[in-house]
Amino acid sequence: MQDLEAELERARALDESDLADAIETIGFECTRCGACCKSEEDDPHTATVFPDEVREVAGEDDERDRRSDDVASRSPSQSSRDWRDVARPMPYGLDEDGSGETFEWALQTNACGDCTFYEEDDDGTGACTVHDSRPLICETYPFSVALGGTSQPMGEAVDESGMVRAHECEGLGRDISRADAEDLAAALKERAVRELEEAIGVRDEYAPADPDAGETVVHDSEGAKRPDGSVYEP
């Protein structure tokens, strides 16, 4: 069994109760400070998003509109998002002009480098405008599990085994209910499994694209894509 497959089996075998114990011990409550949604100094916000999560966020407004009484009053631009509204090519490995080949997608950012779905009130309280369909990496922040093939942030070890990690966050150390800890643990396990499944898919689907000058190709578990999410065909 190859390394990624072995790590995937470890992820699937994670005990949610143990994860919840670690989360409950350190404690956590989101303070809505927005630090995890903003750029850091000159580095734009970068949060990995799976292809199906891109589609879910893109369709959130459509689903809300189907439940709304004023569907007819909404224009298409108000009721849907395209791929580029949600995600951008992961910048690592790309040229300065954004061309070249890269792996995976990052949530889209605004002109300030913050997550495009982050909003802040006048008092500085932040909010996610797609909270109900936010990606797993956002749902589980600031926690992660120490498995090969999973993404950052790794942070500091929380439990004795070193499996659960916590990135620096002002919400750590606050009281959390057992129910909330269990929900967070379930999401954390799901994220670990999904990240490894995605990594395996990327590996298996990858084929060098050799894009033309100025072109960008993104390799994900579904194959090679253009920045608008369409299939890349040289």
CA distances from residue 164 to 5, 102, 128, 145 in whole angstroms, order as listed = 20, 28, 25, 5
Q: Are strands 216-220 and 100-103 parallel, antiparallel or unpaired?
A: parallel
Please report the pLDDT score of residue 149 as a whole number: 73
Query: In the Cβ-directed half-sphere of 33, how many Cα atoms lie within 13 Å?
Result: 13
Structure token pair of residue 95: 């040229």
Per residue in 12-64, pLDDT (tens digit) is 999 999 999 999 999 999 999 999 999 987 789 999 999 999 999 998 544 43
Assess contact for 196 and 14: CB atoms under 8 A.
Answer: no
Nearest to 101 by CA among 216, 213, 204: 216
- Read off the pTM: 0.85
